[in-house]
Structure 1
Amino acid sequence: MSRDISVSAEYIWPSSTGLHDWVVERLRERVPDPAVWAYADKAGFEVLHDFRVHDLPEPGRHAVLAVLAEEIPQAYGAWARERSSLSEGQIMGLVHDLEILAMMAVEVRRELDEGDGGGGGGA
């Protein structure tokens, strides 16, 4: 089954359930903002199979985008090499897929920062 991470209305990243769940769990570890996770639970992101970053409240949305942009591909590569039975080629393929997600997050962060005068999340 496929699950999505919607970085914005335009940037939607489809993935396998396992990779999606790994990313969301990593986000839970790295973004401990209770407002983010209360909103995600209330909005039913798990039921919808779509983690909608663009719907998250600020400043949590910027924090999630930062982790996606700056940490997720490398963190998954390190985790998979230590704990999975995947081949190096499989790991590199998944890391490449996560790099696409990271590029989406970079672009959305740039757009948000331009929209609020570069403030990185508003007031």
Structure 2
Amino acid sequence: MKNHASNEHAQNEPISGEIYHVTPTRNLESIFRDGLRPQIGPRSELLGEAKEMVYFFGSMLAVEDALSNWLGEALDDEPGAISVLAVDRSGLHLVSDAGYELACLHLVPPENISLAFQDDVPVDEKNGPVTEGTS
């Protein structure tokens, strides 16, 4: 995995009322129903994380930087589309051990969450399998 230094400048922007979470689009239904639950996900497990948390970026610029670098590489094997959620940080207790991310140890309620960006569903998932040689 690449060094996260490329995101540090973007995270140093002032954090507005919204923070951002990147997730596979297939998770949206449960997130909008149940909220964002702290957990040790696949990438956190690979990094040896010991605490269940929900991770955020402080700006869309930081999201874009991450998706075009280390996070994009980490999500290459993820099936389906990716979505970016905007989260109202009001009332959330956030911690930061690194300049490029924020984390929350508690449930983020669904009423704090909205869809900021949804990647297009890959063509092979929209239209079914592509068959060659048909006319």
TM-score band by shorter chain is: under 0.3
Rg larger in structure:
2
Greater strand share, 1 or 2?
Answer: 2
TM-score, normalised by the number of residues in structure 2: 0.25
Greater helix share, 1 or 2?
Answer: 1
